[in-house]
Structure 1
Amino acid sequence: MNDARTPDVSVIIGAYEAMPYLVRCLESVEAQTIGPHRMEVVAVDDGSTDGTGEYLEEFAARSSVPTRVIRQQNSGGPSGPRNVGLGLARGRYVFFLDADDYFGDEALERMVEMADRAGTDVVLGKVVGVNRGAPQSMWSRTEERVDVHRSKVIYTLSAQKLFRREMLERCQLRFDEDLRTGEDALFTMEAYLRGGGVSVVSDYTCYYLVGRDDGKHVTKTGSYTLRFEAMAAMMALIHRLEPPGPKRDLLMVRPFTVGLLQQFAPGLLKRPESEQRHRMELAAPLMKAYWTDGVARRIKVGERLRLVCVAHGRLDLLADVLTFLQAKQVPELVSSKNGDKLFLAYPHFRDPQAGFRDADYEVTVPDWHGDRRIQKPKKAPRPAPTPPPSAARRAARRVRRDLRRWKARLTAG
């Protein structure tokens, strides 16, 4: 360490074969408007052979940003270096910066200011992609505190966020080094659920997510079996931390749609039959343990039906649905007799041999019918009950009744 002052934020960089991207990464650290006196860098070279470790040591020797460099044998993934860095961090906050990526100049200043003002434990700064895609749905507006269950923040679970270090230590949060993919999603989701609130900074680009020209970005690696392990860990975490009910259902939509659904996309039809069956076998215990109507009704019909096929263990029916989707066919839109329900008639709708329910095809969230956006029908309002007659009206009725009786007696007499 080339400075002993206590920082506001520790920037933790796990680096492996990061040249030449590391150069731009560290330039963005030095350019931070928060100033070198309010931050530190803890960099872990994970057994690089391309000069990454040497460049980190050179940076530490010349930079005004207090920097500590640890060099270790390759651990096989990002979790180990991040945990080492977290164990050495001294800042009030930590930020996990990938060595391929870089900051916007005001990133740390804006995120630390937000965390201090809002009192939250996690801050998301707007991310944009460079030579790759990046999440977008959660950047609609800056918010001091969001509802994790209903916000789009659950669709960005990468580790590139500002975390309050006291919360991480109190919760004993570390990256799962046994997971070879999805470890950052597990870490971040737990921080969302156990921490003291989440903020979003959307009015400034804080983070540039870089797609490497050599294709070695970590998110592009990992076999499908590793991804099933990551999904199982995420589903188990949500069930452990969130009681049964609508909030759990909302959270569970994420691992089913951003995770399991990708394993049963139309591209599955090109895979060997043995792999198709293996994926079904890996999914079976997850569907049995975690798939519920509460989750299903929060998913669009075309996606839900694929998962229903998986839940039933019907690879043959799944192939029919995937073929239909691949051909970009539009299902018939069917209305119930009284008009209170809409169904998208994908393959095997009301086919008794398939054994699916009408509910599996029902539109329960905003969906698409071709190019047209469709909604769940609104229930027709019940007619207002007839109000009871007022005292004056009741008295008038009695007078009219008595008058009719008096006239009847006169006529009879």
Structure 2
Amino acid sequence: MTVGTQPDVTVIIGAYEAMPYLVECLASVEAQTIDPARLEVIAVDDGSTDGTGDCLEEFAARVPMPVTVIRQENSGGPSGPRNVGLGKAAGRYVFFLDADDRLGPEALERMVAMADENGTDVVLGRVEGINRTPPKSMWGKTLPRTDVFSSNIKFTLSAQKLFRRSLLERHGMRFDESLFTGEDALFTLEAYLRADGVSVLADYTCYYLVGRDDGKHVTKTGSYTLRFDSARALMALIEEMVPAGDKRDVLMVRPFLITLLPQFGPRFLKDSEEVRRHKLELAKPLMDAHWTAGVARRLRVHERLRLHLVARQRPELLLDVLEFMKAKKEPEARLEKRGTQVYLAYPHFRSKAAGIPDDIYLAEPREARAVPGYRAAAANTFLRRAVRKVRRTLRARNFKAAA
């Protein structure tokens, strides 16, 4: 890189015990089609003992782009190395690359071009999984400019995105080092909310999410209490940055559905009584503060029902629902009001003893459409009849005038 010129993108790699996956990760950086003069790499070895640091040093000595290798004591999580790298970055954009994953060859060139062409502050490149299941709902089509409310990007909050560095510096954004999991969700959602536009590059695989054979992924390890910490932090951020109403409810779906609800799924059946009680205790303040009708109606019936029972602190009823689901039973679909409403009769539907409101079991249109006999447009019957009446009146008047 010419002295005094600013690189287009800084790739930040935090690495801990990353061998042998790091070899292919670094090879994917070296294979980038972007001019090496437009690229810099900052790699932070977070106290590894498996040769990770030596591998990074060898890479730095061999490749044409500038590479800074930092070795430090283990920080205990991914936030520390990322923050160190971010503090050293000089690029117009930064990209956070996990040491066991890899980039598509044209990833950086395409993402920088997308951001420059559209003036956007964040770019999401299509992700594919290798022995892992990546998020999928946001890759339907390329979106030159969108936001977190009008797309599905809220369901991919990992840090592996292209971020305009001036956005991060202007708002003093760093990863929360007090969180062991979910720190990237907090960082990325804040960036979405502060960004002047987000781009989605869906027609090229930019990132390969690699499943380690040893299963050592941060998101799969650690105590369940860490998940509640993550949900609490994300909900607090949404409450702080988005006024109450539909937009806040749209975003709150994410922590409820992705972070909180899994704690009250099949694993809850295997939990001890003590753990069950503790999970409900941890969930209660979150439900009290953030569980609204607007969030509930955006969920499927079984999701809404389970979270309603968590909010009501009714574990005995929740266990019945979970056993029903474990047995792979299908709830009876009950059509009412001439087929305009569908209730899915999961356990305790219209049980006086349980006292669960009917609307908890009411299927929203996306779920109801799968039920034979559902009349999706019937809710507008009155309006349609009125329009037909007006049309008949106008036709009759025109006929009389012509006669």
Shared fold (TM-score, shorter chain, > 0.5): yes
* 2:339–2:375 Cα contact (<8 Å) kept: no
1:96 aligns with 2:112: no
Q: Distance in 2 between matches of 1:104 and 1:272?
A: 44
Q: Distance in 1 between matches of 2:360 and 2:102?
A: 44
- Give the AA of the match of 2:8: D
Q: Distance in 1 between matches of 2:277 and 2:377?
A: 38
Give ranges in structure 2 of 5+ residues lacking alignment.
Answer: none
- The match for 1:411 is none
- The match for 1:108 is 108
- The match for 2:126 is 126
1:34 aligns with 2:34: yes
- How many matched pairs? 393
- CA displacement at 1:55 relative to structure 2: 1.5
SS in 2 for 1:299: coil
Higher Rg of the two aligned structures: 1
Alignment of 1:23-172 (within 5 A): 23-172=23-172
Alignment of 1:186-201 (within 5 A): 186-201=186-201
* 1:333–1:369 Cα contact (<8 Å) kept: no
- The match for 1:342 is 342
- Give the AA of the match of 2:351: D
1:246 aligns with 2:272: no
* 1:7–1:38 Cα contact (<8 Å) kept: yes
- CA displacement at 1:15 relative to structure 2: 0.5
- CA displacement at 1:371 relative to structure 2: 8.8
- The match for 1:15 is 15
- The match for 1:384 is 386
- Give the AA of the match of 1:331: P
Q: Distance in 1 between matches of 2:4 and 2:27?
A: 22
Alignment of 1:242-391 (within 5 A): 242-367=242-367, 378-382=378-382, 383-384=385-386
* 2:310–2:318 Cα contact (<8 Å) kept: yes
Change (3 A) 1:389 1:48: closer
Q: Distance in 2 between matches of 1:372 and 1:271?
A: 38
SS in 1 for 2:206: strand
Q: Distance in 2 between matches of 1:363 and 1:305?
A: 11
Give ranges in structure 1 of 5+ residues lacking alignment.
Answer: 397-413
Change (3 A) 1:161 1:133: same
* 2:228–2:282 Cα contact (<8 Å) kept: yes
Q: Distance in 1 between matches of 2:200 and 2:19?
A: 31
With structure 2 as the length reference, what TM-score do the two structures score?
0.92
SS in 1 for 2:61: helix
Q: C-alpha offsets along residues 58-111 of structure 1, whole Å, 9 cap, x if unaligned? A: 221222110111110000000000000000000000000011111111000000
Q: Distance in 1 between matches of 2:257 and 2:365?
A: 14
* 1:9–1:93 Cα contact (<8 Å) kept: yes
Alignment of 1:151-230 (within 5 A): 151-230=151-230
Q: C-alpha offsets along residues 318-345 of structure 1, whole Å, 9 cap, x if unaligned? A: 0011011111111111123454321111
* 2:147–2:192 Cα contact (<8 Å) kept: no
Change (3 A) 1:62 1:230: same
SS in 1 for 2:263: helix
- Give the AA of the match of 1:107: A
- CA displacement at 1:376 relative to structure 2: 5.8
Change (3 A) 1:374 1:154: farther
* 1:155–1:254 Cα contact (<8 Å) kept: yes
Q: Distance in 1 between matches of 2:2 and 2:21?
A: 23
- CA displacement at 1:219 relative to structure 2: 2.0
* 1:365–1:375 Cα contact (<8 Å) kept: no
- Give the AA of the match of 1:104: G
Percent of aligned positions that are identical = 62
- Give the AA of the match of 1:121: D
Q: C-alpha offsets along residues 365-398 of structure 1, whole Å, 9 cap, x if unaligned? A: 41279997978664042232766999xx9xx9xx
Superposed CA RMSD: 2.3
- The match for 1:403 is none
- Give the AA of the match of 2:224: Y
Q: Distance in 1 between matches of 2:372 and 2:308?
A: 24
